[in-house]
Structure 1
Amino acid sequence: MTSQTSTTTPAAAQGSHMWVLTLEVPGRGMTTQYGTWTPPTGATRCDVLVALQGHIVAQHPEMSSANTVFFSLEPNQL
């Protein structure tokens, strides 16, 4: 299983950060999702990773024991 989620809103309405997260349950499935988000004030990269993993697992419960294969969190500006 491979899936992707994206946001396609105007730049002014997007979050402060762009993220990409790939999770894999070896031999059973993989999902890559991405989007934008404005983390709460004081949030750490770890806080964001855990929140995004929870978001994905809520959509795909079979990913609850998945390994994180890739995670990127960058400011959403050029």
Structure 2
Amino acid sequence: MASTTAPTAAPQGTHHYVLTLDLPGRMATTWTGTLTPGTTDTRHDIYAFLRRHITAELPEYGRANVVFFALEPNQL
């Protein structure tokens, strides 16, 4: 008799973020995900990290306007 198990969910970070950037007249994009901040990281540190990460891959967003940023504990 064969036994199957459901795949385990990928681990999630302790915090959930949403960041929306807008290039006026061109496009707006929202990034969302989870991460686990370091013990000394601040909300600003995470914001700056996300901006660096995004602009490293999409340099045109370096001058984008921030429309929305949220960083909350990843719990209900």
By the TM > 0.5 criterion, same fold?
yes
Q: Give 1:68's match in structure 2, choosing from 66, 69, 74.
A: 66
Gaps of 5+ in 1: 1-8
How far apart are 1:10 and its partner, in Å? 2.5
How far apart are 1:42 and its partner, in Å? 1.1
Which entry has the higher C-alpha Rg, 1 or 2? 2
How far apart are 1:72 and its partner, in Å? 0.6
Gaps of 5+ in 2: 1-7
TM-score computed with the length of structure 2 as normaliser: 0.82
How far apart are 1:71 and its partner, in Å? 0.3
Number of residue pairs the alignment of both structures matches: 69
Considering only aligned residues, what root-mean-square deviation do their CA atoms show, in Å? 1.5
AA partner of residue 72 (structure 2): E
Percent same amino acid at aligned positions? 57
User: 2:20 is matched with which residue?
Assistant: 22
